[in-house]
Structure 1
């Protein structure tokens, strides 16, 4: 039974170390890299061209959506924040709107916003349909260009594109190509439009893009994220290992 006591202590300390490392790495894995990490030559403003295309229909989760393409659209950008439609805090997309086409929103920056490094003095976060950018002083705010940021409602019914899209994380240089589009679900009168300019603000200023291509050009913090994944699993495994050996270890009576 001495062996079980040994493993009880071993798993206990592995759990403690793993938990501490996991917490520390959690706050580092999404830290935005320096501007020198990126190839700024690719991070120009999005390319947009008017098209004359017929609406088309697609089906996802027994819902029928009508998509009306307006412009061809291609963007290179750096992800600073995101929101998943199936997130616990997102009650709108699936439950209220029956929207299973907009899987994820990505908030991205490009151009001088990346080259200046101003984003590293800022905070970004997404709610269900908006990207918020904040800064602490006037100098930072005056350097940041709001027309070099966009919140993108990204639509796809393609499993290959979905896999790539859902693997994007803050700091990643991503590229996507598709169409700026309106879409609707007649069964519940749901409709969403799209911005067609980077200079608008407020409600309706987000780009709605039906994706044809999506790729991660350069992955940020690759080593830290791999280590975070390992320490997270170490914490989980060691926790259950500790519980098992704690249950079978001999009772220690203190005198």
Structure 2
């Protein structure tokens, strides 16, 4: 004789299943980089100083920028003050910091818009690590660049070009790129308006 199901068991299973689906959907949503706000106007320019406008933000180009580098790490942001403008940071390495043999001796992580590295013994001089790697804040210029950025992962070699920029928000928020690869510490990161992005491998 088959045992009867306790009353309400099928409803309980349905509630559990719905709760699990909701948690999976939320986890997937939070793992996706936030889309960049759309530009205003057909060309994004206000016609005066060459600045661009996103919803609530003015983006002022400071100087052209291009690089070929290896991706050392990737971190997506959703809730910090800069997430609406720059949803993704890439830690990049070039020159000796793009060499897999060198990188095998270096532990790398990202958090709170910083890139951290650690070694037990230096595979190259400390200064070489400092001036050949950086955490860079990415601002996709359009949907195609945003799509390309969403596919970028640690270990890949990439080429990107665009502008180092300053961002000013209507609420008083400001964020400006470093213009030097010789600096370290707070304010040393590049803030990049990415116009072109491609993988090299």
Please give the TM-score of this superposition, normalised by the length of structure 1.
Answer: 0.56
Task: Pick one of 63, 71, 96 that aligns with 1:79.
Answer: 71
- Give the Cα separation in 1 of the matches to 2:83 and 2:179: 21
Contact 1:84 1:103 in 2 (8 A): yes
DSSP 3-state at the match of 1:102: coil
What is the 5 A alignment of 1:1-255? 54-59=49-54, 63-86=55-78, 91-92=79-80, 97=81, 99-115=83-99, 117-137=101-121, 139-140=122-123, 142=125, 144-186=128-170, 188-218=171-201
Partners of 1:167 and 1:150 lie apart in 2 by: 20
Using the TM superposition, give the Cα deviation of residue 108 of structure 1 relative to its aligned residue in structure 2, in angstroms. 0.6
Structure 1: runs of 5+ lacking an equivalent: 1-52, 219-255
| Matched-pair contact (CA < 8 Å) for 1:126–1:132 | yes
Residues 141, 195 of structure 2: 8 Å contact kept: no
Alignment partners' CA distance in 2, 1:98 and 1:111: 29
**Distance in 1 between residues matched to 2:74 and 2:153, nearest whole Å:** 8
Aligned equivalent of 1:223: none
Give me the TM-score of the superposition, normalised by structure 2. Answer: 0.70
* Cα separation, 2, equivalents of 1:208 and 1:127: 16
Higher relative contact order (CA 8 A, sep 6+): 1
Check the 8 A contact 1:55/1:66 in 2, yes or no.
no
Q: Which of structures 1 and 2 has the bigger CA Rg? A: 1
Greater fraction of residues in helix:
1
Contact 1:105-1:154 at 8 Å conserved across structures: yes
* Closer/same/farther in 2, CA of residues 112 and 56 from structure 1, 3 Å limit: same
Structure with greater strand percent: 2
> Deviation of residue 55 (structure 1)?
4.1
Return the alpha-carbon distance in structure 1 between the equivalents of residues 92 and 49 of structure 2: 29
Structure 2 unaligned regions, length at least 5: 1-47
Q: Distance in 1 between matches of 2:189 and 2:98?
A: 20
Partner-residue secondary structure (3-state), 1:155: strand
